[in-house]
A and B are shown apart, each in its own frame.
Chain A
Amino acid sequence: MKATFTFITLLVTTATFAQTNITGKVTDAKGVAIPGVNVYLKGTYDGTSSDARGGFAFETDETGNQLLTVQALGFEIQQISIRCNGQLVSHDIKLLESINVLTAVTITAGAMEASDEKKSVVLKPLDIVTTSGAMGDITAALLTLPGTSTVGNDGRLFVRGGDASETAIFVDGMQVGNAFGTTASNVPTRTRFSPNLFKGSFFSTGGYSAEYGQALSSALALNTLDLPLRNQGDLSIMALGGGYTQTLVGKQQSLTASANYYNLAPYQSIIKQNFDWEQAPASWDSEISLRHKWGNAAKSRSGMLKAYFHSEGNRMAIWQKIPGSDSRGDRIQLRNNYHYGNLSFRHSNSNGWLLYGGAAYSYNKDAWKLNFDPVRQVTTLSHTKIVAVRDFSSRFSLKNGLEWYIKTYSEALTDQNLRRDFTDHQLNHFAEGSYYFSNRLVMVGGVRTGYSSLARQVWIDPRFSMAYKFENEGQVSFAAGRFNQLPEEKTRIHDINLKNTSATHYILNYFIVNNNRTLRAEAFYKNYNHLTTWQGNASEPFDIAQNGTGYARGFDLFYRDKKSLKSTDFWITYSFIDSKRQYATYTTRIQPSFAPRHNASVVAKHFVTGLKSQLGLSWSWNSGYPYNDSNLPGEMQRKTGMYSDLSLSWSYLPRPNVIIHAACSNVLGRNNVFGYRYATQPDETGTYASLPVGQGARRFAFIALFITLSKDKSANQLNNL
């Protein structure tokens, strides 16, 4: 028995002797204790978590050299070599914070992002489609954001004193030519692409990345959905037409095909129109999109290939009165055909490399009849791009890209056998590095170079931005850069030697999101140089020069609140734009017609559970459009009355897969005027007769029924509203 006892005692004491106690305290770089840190010996089960005061203590039976591993969310992992020999090991450990893309500062100067995944967003993708008054048009929804101006007789995006051509639009990184439908002058247009294609967007009103070029004012990058969720069919029946979309989803790929037809004739036969339509706008479109993904993000190699094809055709014929004449006026007939194809890919691997790029082609043909004189204009844009991004560490990454554009334009007077055209090749390279000094401070610097074969010009555009995040989650950011853009093709065709117009941006931004409330304030200064000027008529200009200069400066405010009012989400925007420029036929610097001084909008959405309905309201306002009165000396002497439009919408979900949507714009029936057109010659009394440029109709009403057919009965087309 004694022997047994000795044997057991021996066993126990050996064990006790081999045990090593490890203790210490974990703090951050400033000495603040970090609780809940995982502290353990690598390759063993021995370890513990630090307590509320950062302290830790544990025992191990291991002996010899061991690796003490210290790991916590938000900090860099640390490993310390220790020796376990039964004696107390004590270590105080300082952890360095790691860069967390999820919570780190982001550059918000000039940028407004719509995303479901990121933090510094002003919108959710769904907001773009549920904004009342937008009528499902991406651009119309963006016009409720700061920095933009609503130009009711145009419909395109006007950003901070820039004209509509100064915004470049990209789908999955590839540029889109003629992103807006062609239309007669003073008849507003829409974006060609349905908002339900996109999972998010990045809208920049200035100071954007070196990745984007040939746009003086703004870049809008739209990202299409990845794999759709399920097989489903979506049927839409509207007062104006209808459509059907079928989605088929496989394990790694998907196919979506859709077709739509719209015709405004029945609607216009019921509701009185101000415009004198001979043939109401009618259009068809069809789309196919394919997705294929590979790899597994957890196993580090993964990627996705997206193909998207869009075709559409539009028809219209309208009579426009001539100031000072009693006749029916000019007849404008348009047949537009448009095709866009986009093939893009992204692939990332474990070594910190991300590759993306693609090829895209836009083809736009406008067959006009201007008072029965046929004119044909064809614009094409092809864009190929390859970008490599390398993350050298979690702090530093470098992006390098090459782009090749081919732009062609031709116009022909078909019955006179007159035709002219040009082809321009543009080569671009861009490089951009971003460095996180900490989770609070980031700097991005880049340079974009370009060459145009037609202009025979090389340009170099530096870009810079930085952001700093405060303790209270608010952040300030700054962006600056130079931007070049060749003149519009309709001007270039008259002088193919035209060089770049240019702009310089400076932007200072404050942004804070807290508890479902967002505040964004931004001040900007933009300087224009080498703007194109000419004499005579825009369709036959002469003395084309590029000496125009200008500026735009101002500030804007955006406040969004989903919290204060129950079941209500609203945002308020105000933009002040002070802009003057000498361009087109103006001989002095004037305030352009598309840059009202004060702009404001309010958007509200309220969900009423009892009614199973979402009620929407949007109001947009500006202080009036400058215009040129031919009866007064000087240029752009007058301003229209203020613009105001209140729109309401009602979406009713009787069943989860059925939506009835009704909307009405300009509910108050306000007679908005966007400017005046003047006769080219004075009448016998010596005055120039004028006609107001107004709205197509006092109000626009819209009613639609959306039905989703799928196995999952709760799926609906909320995305399509």
Chain B
Amino acid sequence: MKTIFRIITLILFISPAVWAQDSPYQKAMKKEIASLITTDSLPQLQRSANAFARIAELNPSEWQPAYYQALAYIYQSFNMALAIDKKDEALAKADELVKKADAISPNNPEIMTMQGFVTIAKLSADPAGRGQSLSGVAMQTLGKSLTMDNKNPRTLLLMAQMEYGMARFFGSGTEKACGLAKQSLAIFSSQDEEALKAAIQPTWGKNQAEGMVANCK
């Protein structure tokens, strides 16, 4: 009996601590985020999108599920095997999800940046046909996001990628693009990734920033 009592005490003692650490929402989010940012397989990305959709339905006041679901669709659109129609279908869904996230959490620089990412993905689906009309829109959206938070490493990274593309197009120097990429990577490196992950704050983009900085050398 003594043992049982001890076990029960232990359970009672531990459980609240466990719960405080991770609600079912947080647990599900962490698991899905981890699998989303480590894959580029189409079926896995679709599984991620579906999982975030399920989480979003249960947590209508959280912006992160829609945000990550949008990211899953954007990643899908970068798959070379997809026809442009399918890419556009995925990106239309991403667009809708970003707007949904924005309605839950207005003036959020992370969501504004995701909006910029959707535009960049649309542009990438057909650079020749959409470059001229969408590059301005993408720069504008990212610019708006930087006015809200000029230290967001993802905004800086996407800005760097846009600047890089334009510098290549106009045949001008890539110093500005590379400067932005370095700035982005420096911020990524200074952040406590584990703490952000624990708080379900966005952490994606560091690898791309590293790749771009390496490219710049």
Q: Residues of A at under 8 Å CB distance from B?
A: 1, 3-4, 7, 35-38, 40, 42-45, 47-49, 51-52, 71, 73-74, 100, 102-103, 116, 119, 124-126, 229-230, 296-299, 473, 516, 562, 569, 609-610, 612, 653, 656, 712, 714-715, 718
Contact for B171 among A36, A102, A473, A609, CB less than 8 A: A609
Residues of B within 8 A of A51 (CB): 43
- A47 — nearest CB in chain B belongs to which residue? B54
- The contact sample of 27 A-B pairs, CB cut-off 8 A, is A3-B1, A3-B4, A4-B7, A36-B47, A38-B49, A40-B54, A42-B57, A43-B58, A45-B24, A45-B54, A47-B50, A47-B51, A48-B50, A74-B89, A102-B88, A103-B85, A126-B133, A229-B137, A229-B140, A230-B143, A296-B99, A296-B103, A297-B99, A609-B169, A712-B136, A712-B139, A715-B136
- Are B58's CB and A45's CB within 8 A? yes
Other A-B pairs, 15, CB within 8 Å; known A49-B47, A229-B140: A36-B42, A45-B24, A47-B51, A71-B53, A73-B93, A100-B89, A103-B88, A125-B133, A297-B99, A298-B100, A612-B171, A653-B170, A656-B166, A712-B136, A715-B136
Q: Is the CB of A712 within 8 A of B140?
A: yes
Kindly list chain B residues whose C-beta atoms are within 8 Å of the C-beta of A36. Answer: 42-43, 46-47, 50
Q: How far does the alpha carbon of A124 sit from the alpha carbon of B133 in the complex, in Å?
A: 9
Residue B92 at the A interface, CB < 8 A? yes
Which listed segment binds A: B124-132, B150-158, B185-193, B208-216?
A: B124-132
Question: With the chains together, A209 CA to B90 CA distance in Å?
Answer: 31
Selected contact of A298 from candidates B51, B102, B170, CB within 8 Å: B102
Q: How far is the CA of A517 from the CA of B171 in the complex (A)?
A: 28
B71 interface contact, C-beta 8 A? no
Contacts of A49 in B (CB 8 A): 43, 46-47, 50-51
* B103 contacts A7, C-beta separation under 8 Å: no
Contact A516 B89 (CB under 8 A): no
**Could you tell me if B4 and A230 are in contact, using CB atoms closer than 8 angstroms?**
no
A52 to B43, CA, bound (A): 8
Decide: A4 and B4 in contact? CB cutoff 8 A.
yes
B47–A712 touching, CB < 8 Å: no
CB distance from A47 to the nearest CB of B (A): 5
Partner of A44, one of B4, B51, B58: B58
* Chain A residues within 8 Å of B89, by CB: 73-74, 100, 102-103
Chain B residue nearest in CB terms to A3: B4
In the bound complex, how far is the Cα of B55 from the Cα of A44, in angstroms? 8
- Cβ-defined contact, B4 with A612, below 8 A: no
Mask: chain B, 1-45; 1 = CB below 8 Å from A; 0 = not:
101100100000000000000001000100000000000001100
A715 vs B166: C-alpha distance when bound (angstroms): 11
Known: A49-B50, A230-B140. A126 touches B58 (CB 8 A): no
Given B129, B136, B137, which contacts A562 in the complex, CB threshold below 8 Å?
B129
Residue interface mask B170-192, A partner, CB < 8 A = 1: 11100000000000000000000
Contact B136 A229 (CB under 8 A): yes
Among all A-B residue pairs, the 7 with the closest Cβ atoms: A36-B46, A38-B50, A298-B99, A49-B47, A298-B103, A229-B140, A49-B50
Among residues of A, the one whose C-beta sits closest to the C-beta of B168 is A609
Alpha-carbon distance between A230 and B51 when the two chains are bound, in angstroms: 38
B126 in complex: contacting residue of A7, A473, A516, CB < 8 Å: A516
Bound: A409/B66 CA distance, A: 58
The 8 Å CB contact of A38, one of B43, B54, B92, B171, is B54
| B81 → chain A closest CB, angstroms | 14
For chain B, which range describes its interface: under 10, 10 to 19, 20 to 34, or 35 or more residues?
A: 35 or more
Alpha-carbon gap, A42 to B102, bound state (A)? 24
- Bound CA span A383–B4, Å: 86
- List residues of chain A with CB within 8 A of the CB of B128: 516, 562, 569
How many Å lie between the Cα of A296 and that of B104 in the bound state? 12
Q: What CA separation (Å) do A116 and B119 show in the bound complex?
A: 12
B contact residues around A100 at 8 Å (CB): 89
Note all chain A residues with C-beta closer than 8 A to B49.
38
Q: In this complex, what residue of B is CB-closest to A300?
A: B103
Bound state CA distance, A230 and B197, in angstroms? 35
Decide if B54 touches A102 in the complex (CB within 8 Å).
Answer: no
What A residues does B88 contact at CB under 8 A? Answer: 102-103
Question: How far is it, in angstroms, between the C-alpha of A103 and the C-alpha of B88 when the chains are bound?
Answer: 9
Give chain B residues whose Cβ lies under 8 Å from the Cβ of A40. 50, 54
Closest to A611 in B: B171
Contact (Cβ within 8 A) B43 A116:
no
Q: How far is the CB of B57 from chain A (nearest CB, A)?
A: 7
| Shortest distance from the beta carbon of B115 to any chain A beta carbon, whole Å | 11
- Chain A residues near B137 (CB-CB < 8 A): 229
Q: How far is the CB of A331 from chain B (nearest CB, A)?
A: 46
Task: Kindly provide the distance from the CB of A60 to the nearest chain B CB, expressed in whole angstroms.
Answer: 12
Return B35 CB to nearest CB of chain A, in Å: 12
Which of chain A's residues has its CB closest to B140's CB? A229
Would you give the shortest CB distance from A518 to chain B, in whole angstroms?
11
What's the Cα separation between A587 and B140 when bound, in Å? 62
Asked if B85 contacts A712 (CB within 8 A), the reply is no
Identify which of A43, A102, A116, A230 contacts B130 (C-beta below 8 A): A116
B91 to chain A, nearest CB (A): 10
Q: What is the CB-to-nearest-CB distance from B22 to chain A, in angstroms, rounded to a whole number?
A: 13
Is the CB–CB distance between A656 and B170 below 8 Å?
Answer: yes
- Return A78 CB to nearest CB of chain B, in Å: 15
Chain A minimum-CB-distance residue to B100 = A298
B69 CB, min distance to chain A CBs, angstroms? 10
- Residues of A with C-beta under 8 A to B170: 612, 653, 656
Residues in chain A near residue B90, CB distance under 8 A: 73
**B58: chain A residues within 8 A (beta carbon):** 43-45
Q: Do A610 and B171 form a contact, CB below 8 Å, given A3-B1, A42-B57, A712-B140?
A: yes
B44 — nearest CB in chain A belongs to which residue?
A: A49
Is the CB–CB distance between A35 and B166 below 8 Å? no
Closest residue of chain B to A43 (Cβ to Cβ) is B58
Min CB–CB distance B83 → chain A (angstroms): 9
Bound together, the chains give a CA A580 to CA B133 distance in angstroms of 43
Q: Which of chain A's residues has its CB closest to B136's CB?
A: A229
Nearest residue, chain A, Cβ from B134: A116
Q: Which residues of B contact A119 (CB under 8 A)?
A: 85
Docked Cα-Cα span, A365 to B19, in Å, equals: 79
Closest beta carbon of chain A to B12's beta carbon, Å: 14
Complex Cα gap A38–B50 (Å): 5
Q: Is the CB of B53 within 8 A of A38?
A: yes
Residues of B within 8 A of A126 (CB): 132-133
- For B101, the closest partner residue in chain A by CB is A298
Residues of A within 8 A of B134 (CB): 116
A2 vs chain B, min Cβ distance (A): 10
Give the shortest distance, in Å, between B130 (CB) and chain A (any CB).
7
Q: Give B94-110 interface residues, CB cut-off 8 Å to A.
A: 96, 99-100, 102-103
Closest to A562 in B: B128
**C-alpha gap A614/B108 in the complex (Å):** 39
Q: Report B-chain residues with C-beta under 8 Å of the C-beta of A612.
A: 170-171
Q: With a CB–CB cut-off of 8 A, which chain B residues contact A569?
A: 128
Contacts of B1 in A (CB 8 A): 3
Q: Which of chain B's residues have a CB closer than 8 A to the CB of A1?
A: 3
| Chain A residues within 8 Å of B139, by CB | 712, 714
C-alpha gap A715/B58 in the complex (Å): 43
Looking at B1, B50, B128, the one whose CB has the most chain A CB atoms below 10 A away is: B50
Beta-carbon contact of B4 and A7 below 8 Å = yes
Q: Cβ of B24: which chain A residues have Cβ within 8 Å of it?
A: 45
Nearest chain A CB to B14 CB, angstrom units: 15
The smallest beta-carbon distance between B192 and chain A, in angstroms, is: 28
- Enumerate chain B residues within 8 angstroms of A71, measured Cβ to Cβ: 50, 53
| Bound-complex Cα distance A37 to B170 (A) | 43
Contact A516 B129 (CB under 8 A): yes
* CB contact between A4 and one of B3, B102, B166 (< 8 Å): that residue: B3
Q: A712: which B residues are within 8 A, CB to CB?
A: 136, 139-140, 143
A37 closest partner in B (C-beta): B50
Is B50 a contact partner of A299 (Cβ separation < 8 A)? no
Min CB distance, B161 to chain A, in Å?
14
Q: Complex: how many Å from CA A230 to CA B92?
A: 24
Residue of B nearest to A51 (CB): B43
Kindly list chain B residues whose C-beta atoms are within 8 Å of the C-beta of A714.
135-136, 139, 166
